[in-house]
A and B are shown apart, each in its own frame.
Chain A
Amino acid sequence: MKRVYVNEEWCLGCHLCEYNCAFANSGMKDMALALKDKKIFPRIHVEGDDRITFAVSCRHCTDPLCVKSCIAGAISVLDGVVCIDQTKCVGCLTCVLVCPYGALAPGESGVMQKCELCMGNACGAPACVTGCPNNAIVYEERNDAT
């Protein structure tokens, strides 16, 4: 399946992926209205220092620890995509405790949200990748054992 992969040597650390993610999942049509003067809660985040930067989002693991660990049974795998049922999540953060990639963070309400590859919103393909100016993240198939 297609996943988001990182080319960290090409990442400029511009954080555009975070804004495109927040906008894509806002459900709004106007980016300025959706994001201006607001604290954003993107499902991808840029890590790094003054030399290296890279974007981190859900790896959609083949054997996801978050799914096995969720105390509410709110996280499941649908056609390879690790998805969360936000109505079931109680915000205990156990998934944050177990994700080895540090890829999960709660949304504004304290309920968890996660990258679902923009399958659940109007984009249909990851908005972070579409908007990346330097191909530092790509959305493609790489040798998948499963």
Chain B
Amino acid sequence: MSRYVIVGNGTAAVGCIEGIRRVNTDAEITVVSEENHSVYSRPLISYYLEGKTDLERMKYRGDDFYEKNGCRVIYGVRATALDPSAKTVTLENGETLSYDALCSATGSRPFVPPFEGLDTVKQTFSFMTLDDVLALESALTDTARVLIVGAGLIGLKCAEGIRDRVGSITVCDLADRVLSSILDTDCAALVQSHLEENGIRFMLQDSAARFDGNTAYMKSGQTVEFDILVLAVGVRANIELVKDAGGETGRGILINNRMETSLPHVFAAGDCTEGYDASAGMRRVLAILPNAYMQGHTAGVNMAGGDAVFDNAIPMNSIGFFGLHTMTAGSGDGEMTEERSEGIVKRFFTKDGLLKGFMLIGQTDRAGIYTSLIREKIPLDTIDLELTKQAASNLIFSQDTRKKKFGGVV
């Protein structure tokens, strides 16, 4: 009987399990889970603090998921060494597992810069895992002054999640704008002012130079008094297991479009990988949940002897703050055209006759039609994009295309 090992127990691991089972129903699957939790929806941790979900509803799959899929899960243990020639992986509890194929779904970890005096801060938190959020929750009080370092997706979702449960929130970031990895200056300004209207204070192009107890001494010379510090500066891919075994890595574990690493019988999926961004035409870490699932599923099918390819990964984010929805996809490269009205901005980026990316704020209806133009590389001369910029519509496609989409099995 074939034996498959998955290191990691997040979304990519679930995709991998479901991919393996698509092909092979009786192989042995072992999941090595560092966290002491069955799989949960990581991006929901801010919604948990906001009261929009709870621990039960955060379960990414039902309670019978592992049993139904015939998986053995080893909880609370890290995989420490991979031996690709012996096809074994060693765990920190001393156990050694043999595999026919292994998937590294090891995710990422918070990056903590070496701040001077960080050890003098009593209440410091990351915002990534369920344990992080439970620890942070226990520290929240309605008078607490919170300093969040990092105005990216993680830092801002944290701010939204705790806003009604603390006294004040200040967010600082070295970048000149919020969400700098996905928004340009104009779009970021719109989101920032909405956040400010909802009580979040920003210190941009500024960050902590050093900490002393409850005081942050900022690079600008200002000081910030706080009770709770949240570090959301960024993340680093967990590449070590594969790297130390001789696998090729960059900022993530390098994979091809079958999710194979450079090591034989070793696959990788999710936030730990550096795959191919089809919109930008370059390698990139695409640490988003849909990508993790799709990579995991592809890896699983291939591990079990199937033949799956995932070659149209693109960055895409749907993120709302206090009722204002923002969606971005693809790259901000190329010629930009804009549709703007009260509270709404839609920016489209085109290059070489293709839609390469978009940023939508305030009006996101049917945005998946735009996303499909990027992912499927639909030549813009075959559709009428102008028609759909104000409101996304299937009217842009030819009647024949619509017949396929709405008159057939897809």
Contacts and interface: CB of A to CB of B under 8 A. Distances in A.
Interface of A: 3, 5-8, 47-49, 52, 54, 56, 59, 61-62, 65, 68-69, 71-73, 87-88, 90-102, 104-105, 142-145
A97 B368 contact: yes
B193 interface: no
Nearest to B373: A100
A91 B47 CA distance: 10
Nearest to B48: A90
A90 B318 CA distance: 12
B381 to A, nearest CB: 19
A8 B402 CA distance: 9
Given A47-B393, A98-B368, A88 B53 contact: yes
Contact of A8 (B57, B399, B409): B399
B60 interface: yes
Contact of A69 (B293, B376, B402): B293
B294 interface: yes
Contact of B53 (A54, A72, A105): A72
A97 B316 contact: yes
A145 B392 CA distance: 30
Contacts of A143: 408-409
A92 B41 contact: no
Contacts of B364: 93, 96-97
Interface in B107-122: none
Nearest to A111: B52
Given A69-B293, A94-B318, A101 B408 contact: no
Contacts of B21: none
B43 A92 contact: yes
A124 B30 CA distance: 41
Nearest to A48: B395
Contacts of B289: 69, 71, 94
Contacts, number: 132
B407 interface: yes
Contact of B318 (A3, A65, A73, A96): A96
Interface in B299-335: 316-320, 325, 327, 329
Given A3-B409, A56-B406, A88 B57 contact: yes
Contact of A72 (B44, B297, B319): B44
Interface of B: 14-15, 41, 43-44, 47, 52-53, 57-61, 289-290, 293-294, 297, 316-320, 325, 327, 329, 364-369, 371-372, 375-376, 392-395, 399, 402-403, 405-410
Given A54-B402, A54-B406, A97 B293 contact: no
Given A6-B402, A90-B52, A143-B408, 4 more contacts: A68-B293, A72-B57, A91-B52, A96-B327
B57 A87 contact: yes
A94 B367 CA distance: 10
A58 B316 CA distance: 21
A100 B372 contact: yes
B393 A102 contact: yes
7 contacts: A6-B407, A47-B393, A47-B395, A71-B41, A72-B53, A92-B320, A96-B366
Contacts of A73: 14, 41, 59-61
B368 A102 contact: yes
B52 A145 contact: no
A69 B406 CA distance: 22
Most buried by A among B58, B317, B369: B369
Given A47-B393, A73-B61, A94-B290, A145 B369 contact: no
B290 A102 contact: no
A92 B41 CA distance: 13
Contact of A6 (B61, B320, B366, B406): B406
A142 B404 CA distance: 12
Name, among B61, B394, B399, the residue most crowded by chain A CB atoms within 10 Å (CB to CB).
Answer: B394
Contacts of B325: 93
Contact of A102 (B43, B297, B394, B407): B394
Nearest to B369: A102
B407 A5 contact: yes
B318 A101 contact: no
Contacts of A101: 368-369, 394, 405-406, 410
Contacts of A144: 409
B410 A104 contact: no
Contacts of A104: 368
Contacts of A99: 366, 368
A7 B407 contact: yes
A144 B410 CA distance: 9
Nearest to B14: A73
A92 B318 contact: yes
A59 B329 CA distance: 23
Contacts of B409: 3, 62, 142-145
